[in-house]
Structures are given as C-alpha cells and as structure tokens.
Structure 1
Amino acid sequence: MNKVFMTGYYQGVIEVAPASLSAAKTEELAITMTIQHLRHAGVSVSTIHDFLVLDIHANERLINKYINDNAAELEAAQAKLLSSAF
C-alpha cells in the first residue's frame, strides 16, 4: 500500500467528518478509521504506526491507544465519536 493512498484515505476521513466534531475528535476518528482500514488491507501494525506518526504527524497518544484494537473495538470507538457529533 503506497503512502499517497494511505494519506488520501486519512485526509478523506478528515474532510467528510461531521462539522460538529471538534478538531481533536475529528483527528481521533481519522486515526481509528485509518488503522481499521489499513489493517483490513493487510498492512502491518508497525507500518501503520510509523505512517501515522512519521508521515501524518498524528497524535501519537491516540495512535498508541488504538493501534492494537480489533475491528469491533475500533468500530465501537468510531460509533462513540460519531454519536457525539449529533
């Protein structure tokens, strides 16, 4: 998976997130969705971590919070974030 695609996915989540989410919550949503998407695509956890930290410069605390979560846990976190927007 190339970095252009991975960056585009992350940026796409940022752009379509509900406007009522704070910047911090939007970043958290983008992190959880990107981790889930890339893990589903077979990208290694270490590659996802390095991409989010080194290339995206996302919040490392949030990355570490979610990087080892399974799909159900990531979906629950995303649902909680999205429900706070409405």
Structure 2
Amino acid sequence: MNRTFMLGYYQGVVETAPAVFSAAKTAEFATAMTVQHLRHANVSTSDIHDFLINDAHVSPRIVAQYISLSAAELEAAQAKMMQLAFRV
C-alpha cells in the first residue's frame, strides 16, 4: 500500500471526525482508525508505526498508545470516543 493512499485515509478520518473532538482527540481517533484499517490491508506493524510518525506526523505517544492494541481493543477505543462525542 503506498504512502499517498495511507496519508489520504488518515487525512480523511481527521476531516470527518466529529467537530466536538479536540485536536488531540481527533489525532487519537484518526490513529486508531488508521491502525485498524492498515492492519486489515496486511500492512506490517512497523510500516504502520513509521508511516504514522514520519509521514502523518502523529505524536509518538499517541502511536504507542494504539499500535499494540488488538482489533477488538481498537474498536472499543473508537466506540468509546464516539460515545463521548455524541453524549447528550
């Protein structure tokens, strides 16, 4: 998978994230989504890590927080963020 496509995916998530998210929460959400998406595309963990830090310029702290999570844990994290975003 080429870096242009991966960056486009990441940027697309950033642009469509809920408006109530802070910049930090948007980065977390986009990172979790990107990690999950690229794993489904069989991109190696080291390539995902390098892409997020070097190309998408995501904080290493955020990358470290999400890169080692399982698919179920990533989905749970995303669901929790969306639940907080749309809490009434």
TM-score, normalisation: structure 1:
0.97
Q: What is aligned with 1:61? A: 61
Q: Which residue of structure 1 aligns with residue 22 of structure 2?
A: 22
Equivalent residue, structure 1, for 2:33:
33
Asked if structure 2 preserves the Cα contact closer than 8 Å seen for 1:66 and 1:74, the reply is yes
- 4+ residue segments displaced more than 6 Å: none
Q: Which residue of 2 aligns with 1:50?
A: 50
Q: Structure 2 stretches of 5 or more lacking a match? A: none
Size of the aligned set, in residue pairs, is 86
Deviations 1:15-55 (A, max 9, x none): 11110111110110000000000011000000000000011
Aligned partners of 1:20, 1:65: CA distance in 2, in Å? 22
Query: Percent identity at matched positions?
Result: 63
Asked if 2 retains the 8 angstrom alpha-carbon contact of 1:10 and 1:34, the reply is: yes
How does the TM-score come out when normalised to structure 2?
0.95
Match status 1:9 vs 2:9: yes
Distance 1:47 1:23 in 2: 24
Root mean square deviation, CA, Å: 0.6
Helix, strand or coil for the counterpart of 1:8?
A: helix
